[in-house]
C-alpha cells in the first residue's frame, strides 16, 4: 500500500511552506518519525517526519517550491512492498525493444530530436510541459524548461553526473556491523557511520568492516562532498553560487521590508555598567545553585520594559492602512540569535510579569531551541521590541535594523573596561555601547534619546529595578 | 598475454561484424575514434549472409514465378515456370557478396581496422584474437571500450543437430542446391513461414508442424489468419500442437516423429527437415567471465538505455543484447553505443521497433496493439482499412489484409499499427515515424497521401479511428 503524505500544518495557521531540502531520495528506506524534508515557514525551519515505515516511492515537490498545506509532497510505499524504482533494475529489456526504464504510465510524447535535446540539456523530459498538439513536447519546450529550471533541477543533475563519473560514493545501510575497536575508533575520527561503510566481508554471519574500508569510504564521502560543492559553484572555482532561499531568503525579505518601509535613525550612547557587572556576578552564583545561567540579558530586558512603559511609542506598530499607531501594553521582547541557518528571533513573552530567573531560563531555552532548529513558529511571533546582542561577538556600536513591524530595536555592544572620569578622577569602569534604531515615522529623535536615558539609568543603578 | 602474441591498443574494439557491429564500428570511426572490428566469419553477419538478405532474394525470385502463374486471371499467360536452383542460388550469392563486400569497403573507407579471427576476453580491458586453423598465433588488443555484437544463431532442438543434409537450419535451407520434393518444417514462426513460402512456390510439398496452436503465435489472430489462408492456398499443410521428438533416416530421406501433449505420435516422411524454432544469443565464444560479464536467465547480455553492460567500458548491441532480435534494432543500437562512447547524449529511448515478416502477404507491425495499449493504461481507439477497399491493392490483385492504427483516444497520439497486406514492410515506416514523433491521428489524416497507392490505407485507417473515413464505414 502506498501512503500519500500531505504537507502538514507545521506551524499554527500556516497556509504554505517552502521545501528547503529533501533529506531522502526516491527508493530510500525510511522509518517512522525519520525526518524526510526540511520545510520552512516564516522564520522557522522544521523537519517533516515520515509517518510510516517503508520506502520513498515518489517525491512530488521540488526543493525551493512553495507548497500549500494539504498538498501531497511525497508518497511512501509502506513496508512489505517494493517501490517502482526497486523493481526497475531487475527488469529484462522487454520484447518490444523499448528500454526497461520506459514505464508507459508516464510515457511522454515527444519526437526523438526533443528527447535527445533533453538529455543534452540535462532536463527530465517527463517534467517538460508540452505545447504541441495534445501536449506534445517540442524542442522549444525543452529549451524553455531548461532555462526556467536553471536554478532548480540543474545543480542536482550536475551532482549526479559528477558522482557517476568519478566518485563511487555508495553507502550501505546495515543494522549491525562488526569491527575491531581500532576500526571503530578510526570511523569515529573520520566521522563515518560504520553501518554505512560498504563491505563484502562477513564474520559469524554479520557484516565485517576493515580499517581500509573505513578509510576508503571516508575518502569517497569527502570526494562526493567536494563534488557537490564543485557542482553547485561556478566552474572556475573563483566564484561560488549558493541558493538564496529558505531562512536566508526570509531574513533578506524581512530586512528589505523593514529598511525600505521604516526610515531608520540610530541613536548611539554608552552606559556605565560597573554596578551591574558586580550585581550580576553575585546573583549568578545564586542562580547557578538553582541551575539557571544568569546573563546580563534579563537585566537589559527589565530596563527596556521600564523605558517602554515611560515611552510607549517605542513599543508600538504603525498600522498604515488604518492610519493608526498601535501602542502595546504588553512587553514581549525578541532576542536576535545567530544560528547556523541564519538569524532567528525567539520571543520572551510578558517580560514585565516575570522575574530575572524565570526570564533567564525561558530565554536560554528559546535560544537553545532556535540553534537546534526545534523552535516552534509561535515562539518567534508576537514580539513588541527586539534586542540584538552583537557585543557578544564583538563591537561597541552598530546600526541595527528594526524587526518590522516593530518600531525600535536596541543593540548591545561588548562590555569593556575603560578609563572613565568619576567624581573628578579617572578610574576603570565597565562600559557598554548602546545602539538604538527607531522608526522615525512615529518616533522623534528626542524620544529615542529620552528612552535611552531611562534604560541607561536602570542599567547603571540596577537596584532601581527592585522599586 | 601469451608469448608471441602481437599487442595493439585501440579506443574501441567491436566484436562481431554483423549489422549491429559494423554500424557501431563505422559510427565510432566517424567520431574519429580508433576502431578495431573483429569478425570470425564474413562481414555482414547473419542478416546479410544467412538471414534477411538471402531469404528476401529467394522470396522475390519465387514470387515472380508465383505472379506469373497468377497473371492468367487478368489475361497474361506464361508457360509453367522452370526453376534452375543453382542459378538462383548463385544470383542470391552475388547479391550477398555485393552487400558484404560493400560493408567491408565502408569499414575500411571510414578507417576501421578489420581483424579476422575469434575474439575472447582476456580481462576487462583486453581481448585476444584467435586465428582458427593454420598459423595458430594470436593477437592481443587492449581497448578503452568494447562493443559486443556477437549476434545469435538458430536454436537446436535436442536430437535434431543441424547436419546440413537432412536436418537443416535456416542457413542450410538457404544454401540448398536442389529443390526437395518434400520438406518438413518444424516451427511456424516467421523464419519457418518465410522459408515454407519459398519452397512451396518452388513446388516442394511443405508440411509445417508447430508446437503451439497457430502460425506466427506472436501476432494477433486476424493477422496470422490472413497469412495462414494464403499459405494453405500455396499448398502448405499445417499440424499444430505437435513437437518434433526424434527422427530416423529412410533411404535418402528422413522420417520425423512428432508428439502431442497427450503423447500421441505422428510420423512425417520428407526429403529434408528444416528446424526453425527460434534463435539464441551467441555468448559462449568469447570468454565473457574474463571480463566479468555474465548473461541473464535468457542468455542475453543485459544493458542499460545507453547499451552499457555491468562492466565499465563494455557495451552490448544487437541480438546478443536481447529481444527483439532484429537487424534494424541492432544497427540503431550500434550507432547509439558509438555515440555514447564519443560522449554524445545519446540513448536507446525509442518508443517502438518495427518488425516485418515477408510472408505472402507481408506482415509489419510497430508499437502497441490494441490489447497492449489497454494493458499500458491507455484508452485506445482503433481504425482499420481493409485492402479490399484500396484501389491500388485491387489493381495489383493483392487485396488480402488490412491496415490497423491504434491511438490514444484522449490525445489522439498514434501508439502503434499492424499491417498485413502487400508491401506491408514498406508501409509500416510511416506508422513508425508517427509513433516515434508523437504524431496524432489528425497528423496522419491531414497529410496528403499519393493516389493511387497502398500508403493511402494508413491515412484511411487513421481516419477510420477518428470516425472520419471516406472509403470505409466508420465503426
**Interface pTM, i.e. ipTM:** 0.80
Q: Where are the domains of chain B?
A: 6-59+84-153+280-341, 167-277, 355-465
Q: What is the pLDDT of residue B82?
A: 93
Taking the Cβ of residue B348 and every Cβ of chain A, the question of whether any pair is shorter than 8 Å is answered with yes
**Whether residue A237 has pLDDT greater than 50:** yes
Taking the Cβ of residue A330 and every Cβ of chain B, the question of whether any pair is shorter than 8 Å is answered with no
Cell reading at A435: 545602539
Contacts of B386-394 with CB under 8 Å at 24 or more apart are: B386/B472, B387/B421, B387/B422, B387/B454, B387/B457, B389/B460, B389/B471, B389/B472, B390/B452, B390/B454, B390/B456, B390/B457, B390/B460, B391/B451, B391/B452, B392/B452, B392/B453, B392/B454, B392/B456, B393/B421, B393/B422, B393/B454, B393/B457
Contact B438 A111 (CB under 8 A): yes
Taking the Cβ of residue A136 and every Cβ of chain B, the question of whether any pair is shorter than 8 Å is answered with yes
Contact B322 A92 (CB under 8 A): yes
Residues of B in contact with A138 (CB under 8 A): none
Q: Which residues of chain B have pLDDT under 50?
A: 1-3
C-alpha A156/C-alpha A63 separation (Å) is 10
DSSP of A385-426, one letter per residue? EEEE-GGGTS-S---PPP-TTSSEEEEE---EEEEEEETTEE
Contact A96 B352 (CB under 8 A): yes
Report which of B307, B70, B89, B267 is spatially closest to residue B182, judged by C-alpha positions: B267
**Whether residue A361 has pLDDT greater than 60:** yes
**Whether residue A154 has pLDDT greater than 70:** no
Taking the Cβ of residue B412 and every Cβ of chain A, the question of whether any pair is shorter than 8 Å is answered with yes
Contact B323 A107 (CB under 8 A): no
Contact A96 B321 (CB under 8 A): no
Q: Taking a C-beta distance cutoff of 8 angstroms, is the pair B416, B369 a contact?
A: yes
Query: What distance in Å separates residue A241's CA from the closest CA in chain B?
Result: 26
Q: Say if strands B182-186 and B272-275 run parallel, antiparallel, or are unpaired.
A: parallel
Q: What is the pLDDT of residue A96?
A: 38
Q: What is the pLDDT of residue B85?
A: 93
For B296, the closest of A92, A105, A112 (CB atoms) is A92
Query: What distance in Å separates residue A393's CA from the closest CA in chain B?
Result: 52
For B438, the closest of A93, A116, A136 (CB atoms) is A136
pTM over 0.80? The answer is: no
Contact B324 A132 (CB under 8 A): no
C-alpha A436/C-alpha A32 separation (Å) is 48
Task: Kindly report, residue by residue over B91-144, the tens digit of the pLDDT.
Answer: 999 999 999 999 999 999 999 999 999 999 999 999 999 887 655 567 899 999
Report which of A414, A354, A412, A370 is spatially closest to residue A387, judged by C-alpha positions: A412
For B348, the closest of A94, A96, A99 (CB atoms) is A99
Contact A96 B324 (CB under 8 A): yes
Taking the Cβ of residue A466 and every Cβ of chain B, the question of whether any pair is shorter than 8 Å is answered with no
Count of pairs with CB atoms under 8 A, one residue in A, one in B? 86
Q: Taking a C-beta distance cutoff of 8 angstroms, is the pair B152, B276 a contact?
A: no
C-alpha A179/C-alpha A211 separation (Å) is 8
Instruction: Determine what percent of chain B falls in helix, strand and coil, rounding each to the nearest 5.
Output: 35, 25, 40
Lowest mean pLDDT among A136-145, A229-238, A360-369, B286-295: A229-238
Query: What distance in Å separates residue A167's CA from the closest CA in chain B?
Result: 14
Question: Bridge-partner residues for B123, per DSSP?
Answer: B126
Lowest mean pLDDT among A15-29, A37-51, A333-347: A37-51
| Averaged pLDDT, A264-270 | 94
CATH top class, domain A263-466: alpha beta
C-alpha B72/C-alpha B59 separation (Å) is 21
C-alpha B392/C-alpha B397 separation (Å) is 9
Write the secondary structure of B272-312 as one string of H (helix), E (strand) and C (coil). EEEECCCEEECCCCCCHHHHCCCCCCCCCCCCCCCCECCCC
Contact A136 B353 (CB under 8 A): no
C-alpha B376/C-alpha B366 separation (Å) is 15
Query: What distance in Å separates residue A44's CA from the closest CA in chain B?
Result: 42
| Spatial CB neighbours of B344, under 8 Å, sequence gap ≥ 6 | none
Cell reading at B466: 477518428
Query: What distance in Å separates residue B196's CA from the closest CA in chain A?
Result: 25
Q: Taking a C-beta distance cutoff of 8 angstroms, is the pair B272, B85 a contact?
A: no
Q: Taking a C-beta distance cutoff of 8 angstroms, is the pair B109, B103 a contact?
A: no
CATH of B167-277, one of 3.40.50.740, 2.30.30.60, 3.50.50.60, 3.30.70.890: 3.50.50.60
Taking the Cβ of residue B322 and every Cβ of chain A, the question of whether any pair is shorter than 8 Å is answered with yes
Q: Taking a C-beta distance cutoff of 8 angstroms, is the pair B167, B244 a contact?
A: no
Taking the Cβ of residue B409 and every Cβ of chain A, the question of whether any pair is shorter than 8 Å is answered with no
Cell reading at B441: 491521428
Cell reading at A386: 527586539
Positive or negative, the Cα torsion across B249, B250, B253, B256?
A: negative
Cell reading at B395: 489493381
Q: CATH 3.30.559.10: which residues of chain A?
A: 263-466
Residues of A designated as active site: 440
**Whether residue A203 has pLDDT greater than 90:** no
Taking the Cβ of residue B329 and every Cβ of chain A, the question of whether any pair is shorter than 8 Å is answered with yes
C-alpha A461/C-alpha A200 separation (Å) is 71
Contact B350 A112 (CB under 8 A): yes
Q: Taking a C-beta distance cutoff of 8 angstroms, is the pair B385, B461 a contact?
A: yes
DSSP of B358-427, one letter per residue? -SSSEEEEEE--HHHHHHTT--EEEEEEEGGG-HHHHHTT----EEEEEEETTT-BEEEEEEEETTHHHH
Report which of B256, B162, B271, B165 is spatially closest to residue B209, judged by C-alpha positions: B256
C-alpha B137/C-alpha B160 separation (Å) is 35
Query: What distance in Å separates residue B396's CA from the closest CA in chain A?
Result: 32
Neighbours of A181 (CB within 10 A): 7
Task: Kindly report, residue by residue over B417-460, the tens digit of the pLDDT.
Answer: 999 999 999 999 999 999 999 999 999 999 999 999 999 999 99
| Averaged pLDDT, A319-338 | 92
**Whether residue A45 has pLDDT greater than 80:** no
Taking the Cβ of residue A98 and every Cβ of chain B, the question of whether any pair is shorter than 8 Å is answered with yes
Q: Does domain B6-59+84-153+280-341 have CATH number 3.50.50.60?
A: yes
Residues of A in contact with B316 (CB under 8 A): none
Contact A94 B323 (CB under 8 A): yes
Q: Indicate the length of chain A as a whole number.
A: 467
DSSP H or E segment with residue B268: strand B265-270
Query: Integer distance in angstroms from the first to the last C-alpha of chain A?
Result: 67
Fold classification of B355-465 (topology level): Enolase-like; domain 1 (3.30.390)
* pLDDT confidence band for A82 (50 / 70 / 90): very low
Residues 249-308, chain B, touching A (beta carbon < 8 A) = 296-298, 300, 302-305
Residues of B designated as active site: 451
B6-59+84-153+280-341 matches B167-277 in fold: yes
Q: CATH 2.40.50.100: which residues of chain A?
A: 2-107
Write the secondary structure of B176-191 as one string of H (helix), E (strand) and C (coil). CCCCCCEEEEECCCHH
- The three-state secondary structure class of B471 is coil
Taking the Cβ of residue A93 and every Cβ of chain B, the question of whether any pair is shorter than 8 Å is answered with yes
C-alpha B200/C-alpha B206 separation (Å) is 6
Average pLDDT, whole number, for chain A?
81
CATH top class, domain A2-107: mainly beta
Amino acid at each position: 500500500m502506498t501512503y500519500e503524505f500531505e504537507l502538514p500544518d507545521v506551524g499554527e495557521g500556516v497556509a504554505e511552506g517552502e521545501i528547503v531540502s529533501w533529506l531522502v531520495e526516491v527508493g530510500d528506506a525510511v522509518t517512522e518519525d525519520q525526518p524526510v524534508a526540511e520545510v520552512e515557514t516564516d522564520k522557522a525551519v522544521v523537519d517533516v517526519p515520515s509517518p510510516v515505515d517503508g520506502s520513498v516511492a515518489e517525491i512530488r515537490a521540488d526543493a525551493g517550491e512553495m507548497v500549500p498545506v494539504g498538498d501531497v509532497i511525497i508518497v511512501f510505499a509502506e513496508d512489505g512492498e517494493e517501490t517502482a524504482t526497486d523493481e526497475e533494475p531487475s527488469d529484462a529489456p522487454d520484447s518490444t525493444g523499448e528500454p526497461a526504464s520506459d514505464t508507459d504510465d508516464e510515457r511522454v510524447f515527444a519526437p526523438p530530436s526533443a528527447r535527445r535535446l533533453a538529455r543534452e540539456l540535462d532536463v527530465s523530459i517527463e517534467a517538460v510541459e508540452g505545447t504541441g498538439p495534445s501536449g506534445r513536447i517540442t524542442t522549444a519546450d525543452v529549451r524553455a524548461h531548461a532555462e526556467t529550471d536553471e536554478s532548480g533541477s540543474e545543480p542536482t543533475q550536475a551532482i549526479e553526473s559528477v558522482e557517476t563519473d568519478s566518485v563511487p560514493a555508495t553507502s550501505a545501510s546495515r543494522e549491525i556491523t562488526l569491527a575491531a575497536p581500532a576500526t571503530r575508533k578510526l570511523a569515529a575520527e573520520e566521522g563515518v557511520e560504520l553501518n554505512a561503510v560498504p563491505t563484502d566481508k562477513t564474520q559469524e554471519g554479520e557484516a565485517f568492516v576493515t580499517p581500509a574500508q573505513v578509510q576508503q569510504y571516508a575518502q569517497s564521502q569527502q570526494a562526493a562532498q567536494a563534488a557537490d560543492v564543485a557542482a553547485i559553484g561556478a566552474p572556475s572555482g573563483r566564484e561560488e553560487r549558493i541558493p538564496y532561499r529558505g531562512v536566508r531568503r526570509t531574513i533578506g525579505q524581512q530586512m528589505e521590508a523593514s529598511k525600505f518601509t521604516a526610515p531608520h535613525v540610530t541613536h548611539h550612547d554608552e552606559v556605565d555598567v560597573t554596578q551591574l557587572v558586580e550585581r550580576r556576578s553575585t546573583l549568578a552564583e545564586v542562580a547557578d545553585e538553582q541551575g539557571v545561567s544568569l546573563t546580563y540579558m534579563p537585566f537589559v530586558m527589565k530596563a527596556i520594559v521600564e523605558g517602554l512603559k515611560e515611552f510607549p511609542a517605542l513599543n508600538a506598530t504603525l498600522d498604515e492602512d488604518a492610519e493608526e499607531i498601535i501602542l502595546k501594553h504588553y512587553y514581549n521582547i525578541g532576542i536576535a540569535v545567530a544560528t547556523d541557518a541564519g538569524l532567528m528571533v525567539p520571543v520572551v513573552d510578558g517580560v514585565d510579569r516575570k522575574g530575572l530567573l524565570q526570564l533567564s531560563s525561558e530565554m536560554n531555552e528559546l535560544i537553545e531551541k532556535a540553534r537546534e532548529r526545534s523552535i516552534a513558529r509561535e515562539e518567534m511571533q508576537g514580539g513588541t521590541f527586539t534586542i540584538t546582542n552583537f557585543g557578544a561577538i564583538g563591537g561597541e556600536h552598530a546600526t541595527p535594523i528594526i524587526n518590522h513591524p516593530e518600531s525600535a530595536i536596541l543593540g548591545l555592544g561588548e562590555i569593556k573596561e575603560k578609563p572613565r572620569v568619576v567624581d573628578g578622577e579617572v578610574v576603570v569602569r565597565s562600559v557598554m555601547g548602546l545602539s538604538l534604531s527607531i522608526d522615525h515615522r512615529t518616533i522623534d529623535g528626542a524620544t529615542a534619546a529620552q528612552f535611552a536615558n531611562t534604560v541607561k539609568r536602570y542599567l547603571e543603578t540596577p537596584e532601581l529595578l527592585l522599586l | 598475454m601469451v608469448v608471441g602474441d602481437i599487442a595493439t591498443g585501440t579506443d574501441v574494439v567491436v566484436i562481431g561484424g554483423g549489422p549491429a557491429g559494423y554500424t557501431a564500428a563505422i559510427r565510432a570511426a566517424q567520431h574519429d575514434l580508433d576502431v578495431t572490428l573483429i569478425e570470425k566469419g564474413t562481414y555482414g553477419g547473419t542478416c546479410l549472409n544467412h538471414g534477411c538478405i538471402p531469404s528476401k532474394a529467394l522470396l522475390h525470385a519465387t514470387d515472380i514465378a508465383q505472379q506469373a502463374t497468377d497473371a492468367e486471371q487478368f489475361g497474361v499467360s506464361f508457360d509453367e515456370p522452370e526453376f534452375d536452383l543453382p542459378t538462383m542460388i548463385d544470383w542470391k550469392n552475388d547479391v550477398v557478396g555485393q552487400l558484404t563486400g560493400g560493408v567491408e569497403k565502408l569499414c575500411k573507407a571510414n578507417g576501421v581496422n578489420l581483424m579476422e579471427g575469434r575474439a575472447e576476453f582476456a580481462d576487462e580491458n583486453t581481448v585476444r584474437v584467435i586465428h582458427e586453423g593454420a598459423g595458430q598465433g594470436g593477437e592481443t588488443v587492449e581497448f578503452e571500450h568494447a562493443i559486443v555484437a556477437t549476434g545469435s544463431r538458430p536454436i537446436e532442438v535436442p536430437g535434431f543437430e543441424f547436419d546440413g543434409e537432412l536436418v537443416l537450419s535456416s542457413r542450410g535451407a538457404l544454401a540448398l542446391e536442389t529443390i526437395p520434393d518434400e520438406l518438413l518444417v518444424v516451427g511456424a514462426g516467421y523464419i519457418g513461414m518465410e522459408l515454407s513460402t519459398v519452397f512451396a512456390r518452388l513446388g516442394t510439398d511443405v508440411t509445417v508442424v508447430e508446437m503451439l496452436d497457430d502460425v506466427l503465435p506472436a501476432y494477433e489472430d486476424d493477422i496470422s489468419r490472413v497469412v495462414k489462408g494464403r499459405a494453405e492456398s500455396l499448398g502448405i499443410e499445417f499440424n499444430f500442437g505437435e513437437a518434433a521428438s526424434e527422427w530416423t533416416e529412410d533411404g535418402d530421406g528422413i522420417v520425423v516423429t512428432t508428439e502431442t501433449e497427450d503423447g500421441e505420435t505422428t510420423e512425417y516422411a520428407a526429403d529434408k527437415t528444416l528446424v526453425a524454432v527460434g534463435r539464441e544469443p551467441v555468448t559462449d565464444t568469447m570468454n565473457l567471465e574474463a571480463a566479468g560479464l555474465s548473461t541473464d536467465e535468457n542468455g542475453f547480455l543485459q544493458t542499460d538505455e545507453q547499451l552499457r553492460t555491468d562492466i565499465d567500458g563494455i557495451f552490448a548491441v544487437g541480438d546478443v543484447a536481447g529481444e527483439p532480435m532484429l537487424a534494424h534494432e541492432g544497427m540503431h543500437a550500434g550507432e547509439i553505443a558509438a555515440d555514447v562512447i564519443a560522449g554524445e547524449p545519446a540513448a536507446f529511448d525509442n518508443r517502438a521497433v518495427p518488425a516485418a515478416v515477408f510472408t505472402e502477404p507481408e506482415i509489419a507491425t510497430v508499437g502497441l496493439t490494441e490489447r497492449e495499449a489497454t494493458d499500458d493504461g491507455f484508452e485506445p481507439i482503433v481504425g482499420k482499412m481493409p485492402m479490399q477497399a484500396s484501389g491500388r491493392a485491387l489493381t495489383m490483385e493483392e487485396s488480402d489484409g488490412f491496415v490497423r492504427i491504434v491511438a490514444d483516444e484522449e490525445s489522439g497520439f498514434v501508439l502503434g499499427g499492424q499491417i498485413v497486406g502487400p508491401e506491408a514492410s514498406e508501409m509500416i515506416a510511416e506508422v513508425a515515424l508517427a509513433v516515434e514523433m508523437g504524431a496524432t491521428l489528425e497528423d496522419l489524416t491531414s497529410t496528403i497521401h499519393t493516389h493511387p497507392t497502398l500508403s493511402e490505407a494508413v491515412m484511411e485507417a487513421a481516419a477510420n479511428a477518428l470516425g472520419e473515413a471516406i472509403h470505409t464505414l466508420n465503426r
